Amino acid sequence: MENALEIKNLCKKYDNFELKNVTFNLPKGMIMGFIGENGAGKTTTIKAILDIIKSYSGEIKILGLDNKANDKKIKEDIGVVLDDMFFPEILTPNDINNTMKSIYKNWDTKMFYDYLKEFSLLPNKQIKTFSKGMQKKLEIITSLSHHPKLLILDEPTSGLDPVARAEIIDIFQSILEKDDCSILLSSHITTDLEHIADYITFINNGEIVLSKTTDELLDNYGIAKCKETEFKKIAKEDYIKYKKNKYGYEILVPDKKDFKTKYDISIIDKITLDDLMVLMIKGEE
């Protein structure tokens, strides 16, 4: 399977933080959810992909091209929404359309105005009159309106209500179907990712903890709940992390079916991405 994005041994060191050999691939035509707590390295990784930050080591390929080479071609084929991205507040959507069609040869004015209408964004109103959620919608539809082959989105639905998030997610899915696009989607709203992401990549403290298909995580992983006497009988190789609470133990297991055949533990719950993050970050080995 061809990859839209390939990252190999990405390293970047700051005084108080470090990306350590970050490696993962995003196959073409897929959505990858990029998860981790604040400060884990998601935004730093994304900015390295976009070559916004410098002096990093490792290899990054976007649509088969080195991210530092053929800059114009890469920029034409990427749509970007960053968490700290913004347009000057004195501009209107009309101004953005006029600017973008001079930048992107594939800029689709009709698509842009269709999206403005769909999200009730008035084209002649200054951005400073828009709510935070409306500004975020404008950023998203701008990133979509030049038919990118790769979307890189850092918290794109932050600040949106559930209805608006659902609308945006529907658009992401339709873009995948129509334009053969691939999406790297960083988000704290993991419930959204459970519904749309084909892959989940989890970063913690600058390191990739896992990168797997969403189905593999949600179908195979589980949380076993047991008493201390039962926990002491479990082999270390059969679980990943555990957490002790006043009721007993919660144990993150990578294969709940196999675990059930080995141990007489009746409660093995399905896992959510939130559960996975909490146990991977806060759990003990």
pLDDT in tens, 161-205: 888 888 888 888 877 777 778 999 998 888 889 989 999 999 999
* Sign, CA torsion 216/195/61/41: negative
pLDDT tens-digit readout, 23-49: 999 999 999 999 999 889 999 999 999
Largest Cα separation within the chain, whole Å, is 68
Q: Say how far apart CA 127 and CA 125 lie, in whole Å.
A: 6
The pLDDT of residue 70: 61
Listed by start position, the domains of the chain span 3-212, 221-282
Is residue 66 scored above 90 in pLDDT? no
Cα separation of 125 and 87, whole Å? 13
Helix, strand, coil share of the chain (percent; to 5): 40, 30, 35
Q: Is the separation of the CB atoms in 119 and 137 below 8 Å? A: yes
pLDDT band at 241 (very low <50, low <70, confident <90, very high): very high
pTM, 2 dp: 0.91
Q: In 206-272, which residue ranges form alpha helices assigned H by DSSP?
A: 214-220, 228-231, 256-262
Neighbouring C-beta atoms of residue 107, cutoff 10 Å: 18
pLDDT at 258 over 90: yes
Does the domain made of 3-212 have the CATH classification 3.40.50.300?
yes
